[in-house]
Structure 1
Amino acid sequence: MAVKHAVPRAAPLYALAAIRVFNGATGLLAPELLIRRLDPGRAPQSPAAVYAFRLFGIRTVLLGLDLLTHYGERLREDVHEGILIHASDTATAAMLGLSGRLPPRTAILTTLISATNTALAVTAGLPPRDCAKGRRT
C-alpha cells in the first residue's frame, strides 16, 4: 500500500532534490559563475559573496541528498523543514529586492527560484492522493 501512495508525491520531491543538488553544487564549486549570472554588472566580485554562495551551496547539497536518502518519518520531517527553509529564502530575496539592496533583475530571479522551491516543498509535503479515487488520504 505504501508504494501506491509514494507516486503522487515523488515527482515534486525528486524535482526539488535535483534542483537543490544542482544549485548547491554550483554555489559550492563555481560561486563566481552564479554571481556573474545573478549580478552581471558587478566587478570585481565580493569575497563575501563567494563565501556566502559556498556556505549556502553545501547546505543546499546536503538538503537535496537528504531527500534522496531518507525514508519514512525522517523524510516527512525533511520535507516540512524544507518548506520553512525555502519560504525564508524567498522572503529574504524579496525583501532585499524591495529594499533596493539587490538589483531588480537579481531580486526577481532569486525570489522566483526560491518560490519555486517553496512550492515544490509544499507540494511534496501534501498528503498523497488515493490514485484510484483522486482524493487525499
Structure 2
Amino acid sequence: MDGHTLARQSLAVIRLVNGVTALLAPRVMARRLGADATQPALVYALRMFGVRTVVLGAELLFLKDERELERALRVGTFIHASDAVSAACAGREGTLPRGMATAATAISTVNVALTLLAQRGSCCPPGPR
C-alpha cells in the first residue's frame, strides 16, 4: 500500500467515525465538544455535519474513477480547511471552549494534511507505480 492510499483510507476512517457519531449520537458529540447537548438546534446541526461527513468518507472508499477521487480530495481539502478556520474562530470568539476549539482545529488541520497527501500528482510528480 502506498502513502497516497494509506492517507486516503485513514481520512475515510476518520470521516466515517466522526460522521456516524454525529449522525447517530449527536449528544455524545456535543458533550465531547463541551457544548450543551440539550440544545435541539445543535443536535440538528450535528446530524447535518454527520451526513456530510459520512458521504465524504464513503466517497474515498467507493469511488473508483481516478478523476472523481481527485475531485473528492480537492473538495475535501477546502471543506477541512474551512472547518479548521471555523473552529479557530469559535475558540477565539469564545463560542467554543478554548480546549475543544484547539482540538477541533488540530483534527481539521490533520484532515487537510491527509487530503493533500492522498492527492496524486497535485503537489508532486507521481512516483513509480
Is the TM-score greater than 0.5?
Answer: yes
Deviation at 1:45, TM superposition (A): 2.1
Residues 1-137 of structure 1 aligned to structure 2 (within 5 Å): 7-39=2-34, 42-43=35-36, 45-71=38-64, 72-127=66-121, 129-131=126-128
Cα separation, 1, equivalents of 2:89 and 2:75 = 21
Question: Quick one: percent identity of the two aligned structures?
Answer: 41
Distance 2:37 2:30 in 1: 10
Aligned residues: 125
Determine the C-alpha separation between the residues in 2 that align with 1:74 and 1:129.
18
Residue type at the aligned position of 1:115: T
- Tell me how far 1:105 sits from its aligned partner: 1.3
CA 1:85 to 1:43, structure 2 compared with 1: closer, same or farther past 3 Å? closer
Check the 8 A contact 1:24/1:56 in 2, yes or no.
yes
Q: Which amino acid aligns with 1:50?
A: V
The SS at the match of 1:130 is coil
Rg larger in structure? 1
Unaligned runs of 5+ in 2: none
Contact 1:97 1:108 in 2 (8 A): yes
How far has the Cα of 1:8 moved from its partner? 2.8
Where structure 1 has 5 or more consecutive residues not aligned to the other structure, the ranges are 1-5, 133-137
Specify whether residues 29 and 44 from structure 1 end up closer, same or farther in structure 2 by C-alpha distance, changes over 3 A only: closer
The verdict on how the C-alpha distance between 1:129 and 1:94 changes in structure 2, with shifts beyond 3 A counting, is same
Q: Secondary structure at the match of 1:32?
A: helix
Cα offset for 1:54?
A: 0.3
RMSD of aligned residue pairs (Cα, Å): 1.8
